Amino acid sequence: MKFSADDFRNLDAKNVGNWPIPVKGVAILFLCALALGAGYYFDTQDQIARLEAVQRQEGELIKEFTDKQWQAATLPKLKEQLVTIEKSLADLQRRLPNQAEVAGLIQDISQAAIATGLKSELFKPGTQLQENNYYILPINLRLSGDYHSFGKFISQVASMPRIVTQHDIVIKNLSAKGPLTMELVARIYFFPDPNSVEAPATGAKGKAPAVPAKK
């Protein structure tokens, strides 16, 4: 039995029971397909949303894992570096004299000049400066001699058990026939005597308690 478009238009939606069986079959198939399609669409959308959420969570977990893995890998090295730095700092602090030992260190520098055959033309301690929790005492030196003696003096001062740095080294030939002249500034670093006069305010460089110097 054939049905035309007019036959479908003449079907009474309120009287489905009287529809021809083939028409009923087509209608049922259409409704089933519509229901399956709607279910698939909404279920798929929900799954896609859940998938995106899980993917975001996965990315966050991977990042967190990577960060923690990096920290775990570098933490032993950082601890080892910290121990090395603390040891170096402790060694340097042991090489800083206290205020009472500065006068002897000044004497040692003067003796180094004599021992290396240099003539001391100027040996003048300058103004002491505060730097964090220690002090710096600059000593202006002018020594006369030859290159070999200058080298021995610089090496001997640098190898002292206490920290003494040498700066602004200038070697001049003031006379064609006379000895060479070397000018430099030796800096002594020391801790202040806790029983001495109160040090300048923290953060500002200034004069420290006086230290006996060689005349």
pLDDT at 201 (0 to 100): 37
**Does one domain contain both 119 and 90?**
no
| E strands in 17-163 | 119-125, 129-131, 134-145
Residue 192 has which token pair? 């202040």
In a domain, 129, yes or no: yes
Q: Which distant-in-sequence residues (6+ apart) come within 8 Å of 46 by Cβ?
A: none
Among residues 30, 25, 34, which one has the least CA distance to residue 3?
25
Give Cα separations from 179 to 34, 38, 115, 146, 198 (angstroms): 111, 106, 17, 6, 45
CA dihedral 63, 64, 65, 68 (to 10 degrees): 120
Query: According to the model, what pLDDT value does residue 24 have?
Result: 58
Q: What is the pLDDT of residue 104?
A: 92
pTM assigned to the model: 0.53
Give the tens place of pLDDT for each residue, 144-175: 999 999 999 999 999 888 889 999 999 988 77
Instruction: Give the integer Cα–Cα distance in Å for 117 and 145.
Output: 7
- Total of domains in the chain: 2
Do the beta carbons of residue 56 and residue 64 sit within 8 Å?
no
Distance CA 108, CA 5 (A): 121
Domain of 130, in residue numbers? 99-190
Within a domain: 88: yes
Q: What is the amino acid identity at position 131?
A: E
Residues 135/192, Cβ–Cβ less than 8 Å: yes
What CATH code is carried by the domain that includes residue 152? Answer: 3.30.70.60
First to last CA, the chain: 135
If we measure between CA atoms, which residue out of 75, 100, 101, 71 comes closest to residue 161? 101
89 shares its domain with 105: no
Per-residue pLDDT of the chain (215 residues; tens, 9 = 90+): 555 545 555 555 555 555 566 655 666 666 666 555 555 555 556 665 666 676 677 778 778 878 877 777 787 887 888 888 888 777 777 778 888 889 999 999 999 999 999 999 999 999 989 887 788 999 999 999 999 999 999 999 998 888 899 999 999 887 777 889 999 999 999 888 766 544 433 333 444 344 444 44
- Residue 69 within a domain: yes
pLDDT reported for residue 211: 41
> Among 94, 116, 133, which residue terminates a domain?
94
| Amino acid 149: pLDDT | 93
Q: What is the Cα Rg of the chain in Å?
A: 46
Q: φ and ψ at 182, to 5 degrees? A: -120, 130
Asked if residue 199 is part of any domain, the answer here is no
Has residue 186 been placed in a domain? yes
pLDDT for 101: 87
Please return the burial class of 59, using the count of CB atoms within 10 Å of its CB with bins 0-12, 13-18 and 19+. Answer: exposed
CA distance 157 to 109: 7
CA 161 to chain centre: 30
